Amino acid sequence: MTEIRESQLATTAAATARFPFIFGAQYYRAPTPEPECWEGDLRRMRELGFNAVKFFVQWRWSHRTPEGFYFDDLDRLLELAEANGLGVTLNILLDMSPTWLFREFPDAKQIDAQGRVVEPYAVSHRSIGGHPGPCYRHPGTLAARRRFVETAIAHFRGYPALSMWDVWNEPELSFQQRTPDMGNMACYCPYCHQGFIGWLQAKYSDLERLNEVWGRPYQAWDEVEMPRVTGAITDFVDWREFHLDTMTAEARWRLEAVKRLDPDHGRYLHVVPVWFNAVTCADDYALAEPCEVFAATMNGTPAATIQVVSAARGKVCYNVESHLNHGCLAMHQPIVDAEKLRRDFLPQIGLGIKGFLFWQYRPEVLGNEAPSWGLVRPDGTDRPVTQAARDFWAALQPYADDLLKAKPVPPRVGIWKSRKNEIFHFCIDGSVAPLNAAIEAYTQALYWRSIPFEYVSGQRLEAGELDGLDLLILPCGYYLTDEEAAALDRWTRAGGVLLAEAHLAGYSATRGRHSRVLPGAGLAESWGLREVENTSSYHLRLDERNALDAGLPEDVRKALAAFGATGGIFFPIKLTNGDIVWGAHRYAELAGENLTSEGTFTGAAPCLASIEIGKGKIIYCGTSFGLAAERSDAGLQAMLDNALGVAGISPTLGISAELPGTVHLDVLTGDAGRFAVLINRAEQGQRITLAGEGRWRGLFTGLNWQLMGDTTQTVPATYAEFFVLE
């Protein structure tokens, strides 16, 4: 076992001794629910068996004058929580400015890329107004935020019911939108300008180095401009990374305040693990590092859960805002029964989540989020999800302590996710959606093969922290630093298997230039592999008489003929076994003395190839199979078969399904017990085969299996179960 993994396990052991498996709900976002609901609602939570509740501590609501603080409502709620045996998390919200703030600091408002001042306003999730708050770089409002946080900590730290502090609800730079849009991107205020210059000085050391990378003739640091368009690439990537680091610094001081003033209670923040991008500027990997535990707002999708667990690096992870009860005035919340709840929660448990808080207990009655998001009806009576939550926790709770200490199978596969590369793709596509779709395609393929994997950040790759990984996948890996490329080279030569898509390291994040040779950053020379010709798939044309169509069925030949006439996003590739798969967007012909062809478009030059490097192997795709999955994932699956076979990686317990790609299995192991989560997403029952010994006892559906070596079992349609392994 590596030193890094030993350290992670030691950290985890210490954390699990302090942090329980939580199950409960968020309750109070002032001014709702109203005081007449409190006593009955918290008593009902106790009756449901809950052990946790969350209350918001909102800056605008609780800091009503520069010298006046109002905590009476939260004092009463903490007393009621104690009386009902509920551990309280206090969630500090600073993204709604007090009414007095901008009278004292009129220059603290955010400014967007068009030079417009962002005035405070009310939205459905911040009905008390003051959204989105001041610029994070303004020194006066930073001092005001610090004062409020420190005052709140000092006021509440003595309450017996207090369990943890959540210092930031869904960190985002401006909350104006979550889809990157240059039209209203922030912040361009003078404080950000000065902060950006200081950030650049720390990164580049001298102005000449900045000029070299950016391609500028600046004569003084104060001439440096804030990028307002994306076309020059590296300046814009730097600009957004500056804001990413600003957000991380904000998180650090909040967490440090709790550590300094209230070390007896846990501290964390919770993110929305969509993808970090040019707007939100929330780097989950950087934000997780100073937390004691890590948490998120999410539902049971593999990508969200894996991002949180990957960022946490072995820390306890919670889902502190389950959005099963989502809704609004136009579309009221869904009816959630026991089966739907299991299908959402159990996959998260299988991947390592150690507790849940519903958003929220009582439905909202204020603003556009009414009358939804409730674990009960607006009048407080039970609905189907109430009973489902009670029964789920009643079944799971006896195993909660043992489950808290049980860990999933360590991943041997990583998918690279770089914040630099994501901002780069926003620059060239005007959107992060294509890159995210490519990553999602590999995520789904691995998850439904029951292959444990994790996301690997750009920072982690740069540091060479790839211990335990035997296969690394780089979807759309166009924008790399020289340090990342060097780490890839070292890791592969030491025995790693690399699956890379077209134009790897084609644009250098270190030098601010497109490479004249692909793959870039010296990898072509080091590996003896080169893209000798590349183009867009739209420019490709295929002669019907080409060798690709030899012996193919009529429908496939017609599809190839249609492509030959028009070109397009997707194009056909013939694998060496004769199968036709589809690439997308990018096309590169490959050459190298020791290459093995894996597939071709022209019938001659390979666009898929592999090569052995040192003790390792590179499988290089001169296209994007991640993007091609929109039409067909056959190419992606074929390359995964190849890569997993070379790396010697098999599904958990060797599981196979009658309907491939529809069953997922996780096994969690701890000193006090072993557990398994099994999901069948197919609309029909099917047979599965897996290897194991002993009795598998299902908690929810009553299935009980006795495994002896390779065993075939039948699972029902749309099935989700938690097994105790005995």
Q: Is the pLDDT of residue 287 over 70?
A: yes
Q: Is the peptide bond before 33 cis (omega within 30 degrees of 0)?
A: yes
Q: Check residue 583 and give its pLDDT.
A: 97
Each residue of 404-441: pLDDT tens digit? 999 999 999 999 999 999 999 999 999 999 999 999 99
Q: Check residue 562 and give its pLDDT.
A: 76
Q: Check residue 598 and give its pLDDT.
A: 98
Q: What residues form DSSP beta bridges with 300? A: none
How far is 726 from 720, CA to CA, in rounded Å? 19
As a whole number of angstroms, the longest Cα–Cα distance in the chain is 82
Q: For residue 18, what is the DSSP state? A: H
Each residue of 104-115: pLDDT tens digit? 999 999 999 999
Query: How far, in Å, are 52, 271, 367, 450, 714 from residue 321 at the CA level?
Result: 12, 10, 19, 26, 34
The amino acid sitting at 286 is A
Q: Predicted confidence band at 544 (pLDDT cuts at 50, 70, 90)? A: low
The amino acid sitting at 429 is D
Domain residue ranges in the chain = 3-180+236-401, 413-647, 652-725
Q: Could you tell me the two tokens for 547? A: 């060798």
What is the average pLDDT value for the chain, to the nearest integer?
A: 94
Each residue of 345-355: pLDDT tens digit? 999 999 999 99
Q: Which of 30, 127, 43, 23 is nearest to 75 (CA)?
A: 30
Q: Is the pLDDT of residue 145 over 50?
A: yes
- CATH class, range 652-725: mainly beta
The amino acid sitting at 668 is L
Identify the weakest region by mean pLDDT among 19-28, 178-187, 428-437, 684-693: 178-187
Q: Predicted confidence band at 17 (pLDDT cuts at 50, 70, 90)? A: low
Tokens 């001041």, residue? 134
Over residues 711-724, the mean pLDDT reads 96
Q: In 19-93, which ranges are continuous DSSP H helix?
A: 35-47, 59-62, 72-83
| Residue % of the chain over a pLDDT of 90 | 90
Each residue of 225-282: pLDDT tens digit? 999 999 999 999 999 999 999 999 999 999 999 999 999 999 999 999 977 677 789 9
Residue 600, classed as helix, strand or coil, is strand
Q: Check residue 25 and give its pLDDT.
A: 98
Query: How far, in Å, are 134, 140, 170, 265, 392 from residue 152 at the CA level?
Result: 19, 19, 19, 14, 35
How far is 84 from 724, CA to CA, in rounded Å? 30
Q: Check residue 5 and give its pLDDT.
A: 41
Q: Name 540's Cβ contacts closer than 8 Å, sequence gap at least 6.
A: 563, 567, 571, 587, 601
Q: Check residue 9 and give its pLDDT.
A: 42
Over residues 199-223, the mean pLDDT reads 98
Query: How far, in Å, are 603, 609, 638 from residue 633 at the CA level?
Result: 21, 18, 9
Q: How far is C-alpha 460 from the geometric centre of its chain's CA atoms?
A: 15
How far is 155 from 132, CA to CA, in rounded Å? 25
Q: Is the pLDDT of residue 151 over 80?
A: yes
Over residues 137-145, the mean pLDDT reads 98
Q: Is the pLDDT of residue 400 over 50?
A: yes
Q: Check residue 545 and give its pLDDT.
A: 53
How far is 571 from 501, CA to CA, in rounded Å? 15
Each residue of 39-55: pLDDT tens digit? 999 999 999 999 999 99
Residue 3, classed as helix, strand or coil, is helix
Give the DSSP H or E segment for 433: helix 433-447
* DSSP codes of every residue in 553-585: -HHHHHHHHHHHHH--SEEEEEETTS-EEEEES
367 CB neighbour count, 10 Å cutoff: 16
Q: How far is C-alpha 174 from the geometric centre of its chain's CA atoms?
A: 19
How far is 593 from 576, CA to CA, in rounded Å? 18
Q: Check residue 1 and give its pLDDT.
A: 30
Q: Check residue 15 and give its pLDDT.
A: 47
Q: Name 579's Cβ contacts closer than 8 Å, sequence gap at least 6.
A: 634, 638
Residue 457 φ then ψ, to 5°? -70, 160
Kindly report the pTM of this predicted structure.
0.95
Each residue of 521-532: pLDDT tens digit? 999 999 999 999
Q: Check residue 554 and give its pLDDT.
A: 80
| Residue count of the chain | 726
Over residues 61-65, the mean pLDDT reads 97
Q: Is the pLDDT of residue 6 over 50?
A: no
The amino acid sitting at 368 is N
Q: What residues form DSSP beta bridges with 318? A: 295
Q: Is the pLDDT of residue 8 over 60?
A: no
Q: Predicted confidence band at 553 (pLDDT cuts at 50, 70, 90)? A: confident
Each residue of 305-320: pLDDT tens digit? 999 999 999 999 999 9
Residue 166 φ then ψ, to 5°? -105, 105
State the fold for domain 413-647.
Answer: Rossmann fold (3.40.50)
How far is 129 from 146, CA to CA, in rounded Å? 20
Q: Is the pLDDT of residue 610 over 70?
A: yes
Q: Check residue 176 and give its pLDDT.
A: 63
Q: What residues form DSSP beta bridges with 582? A: 572
Measured between its terminal Cα atoms, the distance across the chain in Å is: 27
Q: Check residue 4 and give its pLDDT.
A: 38
CATH number of 3-180+236-401: 3.20.20.80
